[in-house]
Amino acid sequence: MQNNKLSNIIRKKKPIKPIASKSCEFKMLTEQIDTEQQCMSDTYEFEIDDLQQRKLFQIQLTLGDVKKLIKAKKETLNQIWRQITTLKSNILKLQNDISYFEIKVYSSLRQVKQM
C-alpha cells in the first residue's frame, strides 16, 4: 500500500523546468566577473590624506605583472633547486672519491708495513 502511494507521488511530479531568470542571473554574474577582471588590469589612483598633506599614489602593478613576477620567482626557485641537486650529487661523488683514496692509502700502508 505504501509503495503504491510513493509510486503515485513520483508519477505525479512534473519535471523541473529551468527558470529563465536563473539563466539571466548567471549571464549577469559572468558579465560582472568579466568587468571585474578587466578592472583588475586597469590602473588605479588613490588619494591618501597624510597629516594635512594629500599625496596621489598610482598603482601600476596589474594582475598580469603580478603573474609574471610569480612565474619568474618560480623559475628562479627551480634553478636554485637544480643547483642544490647538482651540489648534492657532487658532494656524494667527492665522498666516494675520498673513500676510494682512503682505501688506497690504507692498502699502500699495509704493503709498506709488510716490507
Contact 54, 47 (CB under 8 A): yes
What is the residue extent of each domain of the chain? 2-114
pLDDT digits (tens, 9 = 90+) for 2-61: 555 555 555 555 555 544 444 555 555 556 555 555 555 445 555 555 555 545 555 566
d(CA 35, CA 29): 10
What confidence tier does 86 reach under pLDDT thresholds 50, 70, 90? very high
Give residue 111's pLDDT.
86
Give residue 114's pLDDT.
82
One-character DSSP codes across 57-107 = EEE---HHHHHHHHHHHHHHHHHHHHHHHHHHHHHHHHHHHHHHHHHHHHH
pTM of the model: 0.39
